[in-house]
Structure 1
Amino acid sequence: MNVAKRMVNAAVRSRSYATMYVPPASLENVVVRRQTPKRTPESPNFYTGRAAYFDQVNALELALQHTRSALQTLQLLPLPSFVRESIPPGHHVWLTKLGLTEMLNAPLTTSRYRRLLGLLNQLDNYRRIAEVAGVEGLASRVADVLEIFERENKEAFLARGKRKPVEFDEYGRSYTVGRRKESAARVWAIAVQKQTPDAPSASTEDQPLDPLPQLTPTITSAMGDSPLPPTEITSTNVLINNIPLSQFFPLPADRERVVRPLKIAGLVGAYNIFALVRGGGTTGQSGAISLGIAKALAAHVPDVEPLLRRAKLLRRDPRMAERKKTGRAKARKAYTWVKR
């Protein structure tokens, strides 16, 4: 039986099969699937897995090559070292790594992100050279390319850390804000209006109305409690929350901290100060008012700004109260345990 089966299998293997004939009528309902030809990839970097990233790199390198050739044709490259140092620095805010990842729709490693930033910085350097040289057409075309990779809030980002200019109202008053610890102070400063005693007296009908109230003889001085007549006032009148300085701050150190900008600037008695302060204690409130006064004096008299800046009165004191720690009475103070 096994021998006969082997002989049949050998005959089947050695048999040459002929092509079967299929009638055309039986092929009417048969659907023939034809393979569509593959499309040519849109990007030559299609098979790299990160086509968008390498396309951007190639585009930036091509822009660098054309810009460099244009500058060399205009004999603007290479530049001497002293000329290169005189070019104003660039003010650009590139997209973050996450922002570029979302724009390219592909994961971006740190090395590739740095490579993109290097190309952008070099292209921005060429733009600044063209802008200084007066080649506006080339500079504008390069700026359009760089604008794609900049943040939308570029102006707001560059404005951070810069002090806003102090504005004056129609009466010549300046409004500034000072902060220290948990305290915040709003300060208004106005120059003292000096009256000339020898001026001829005008009639009541012809005399113009003053927009601001005149100083009364009972205004309290900045450092003392006794009222002084206007001719003997020797320091600026400071009202804090509609209270005189000597009454609002009973400690001499707090009062001295408030009037320190006036003494350093040499403007004691030249300005009236009105402040509204909230939050914190006396130390924080006096420091906040001092910062507001220093900003106001720098706005009224720009010549004293270097003195105030050198005395570190134009920046906020960053020191804050240290938080309480677990197991401690305060930040570092320990409990006293009595042995029994």
Structure 2
Amino acid sequence: MSYLTALENAALSHSGVPRPTPRASRPLAAALDTIPEWKAAFAGRDKVVAAFRALPNTNHEAQIADLTRAHSAQIVDAMVHNQPLPAPIGEQVTELRDRAAVAGIEHEALRNAAASLLDHLAHIYRASPDTVAAHLHTRLGQIIDQARDLGITPADIPTGNDALRLGEEQRAALLRLEELTADLAELRRSQAEALSRTELTSAHYFANTDELQPWGEDAPWPGDPGRPTAAHLAWVATTPGARTWVPTSDQYADAHQRLKKAHQRAEYNHLKAARRHKGAPLSAAQEHRLGQLERAVKNTPPEDMSPSENYRPHPEVAAAKRRIDARNRAENHRPIWR
């Protein structure tokens, strides 16, 4: 369950006592605490819960029933012994019910306040993804820098009995790498938690996935970036071209689109080459896919295309170009967009 889901599910319990707001994982909690509105609202809700629990019991019916039974016994005793009847208990009952009514009003007010604060927390949470991402990205940089200082590559990580032959300094460095790996794993969980997602894409982990993992090739990094191992952290820390990050929403959208276009271009070129090869005709499905890719690739702006590809502008752009060229020729100007 994501933190946001848990936050929204932290409604009032059956007993009427507000449940404590779920606590985030350490990196996410630290990121949220950098938001003043969040910190104030979170502390405020804790105070509401404490005030709620300090309220007196609002159910005085049991006390009234006990009082009524005792009063009945006193009346019977007075009648048996021919004594004056006891004073009426109406005022006592009224007082108990008035106190219960006042406490009930306060009870309901605090319940409503707790629910409103919870909604406010959820609103702040949803409105702050980039603030959280920036904080997590800073923490990620610290983890990578510390891992890089260790100078351990994936090939340096021993397996089996090799670990027994390490010196004290090497063992200490590997132990520190494992600690940093645990920090990285927790940070990646927080990243997914903040996005309310169980699985993230490679563009959530690397700013240049389009360069690191070309279309049709296996990922060069060891393991799963979302569940990093020591070998993965060592690879990220010692590979110059690996630009790991925690992107903001706009950064992720740009990286994801860039990766999508790069893969489209690569697949398009692959299918074009296959069609030119006489011994490998394309199937109907491949021809259909090639047509889809051609439309996508040809409408890609020139700066996003590889130099070897022949860019053709969108038909509306081409028509606008012809109109401008015609006007320029009429004005004896040099045509543009040659």
Structure 2-normalised TM-score?
Answer: 0.24
Structure (1/2) with the larger helix percentage: 2
Structure 1-normalised TM-score?
Answer: 0.24
Which is higher, the Rg of structure 1 or of structure 2? Answer: 1
Structure (1/2) with the larger strand percentage: 1
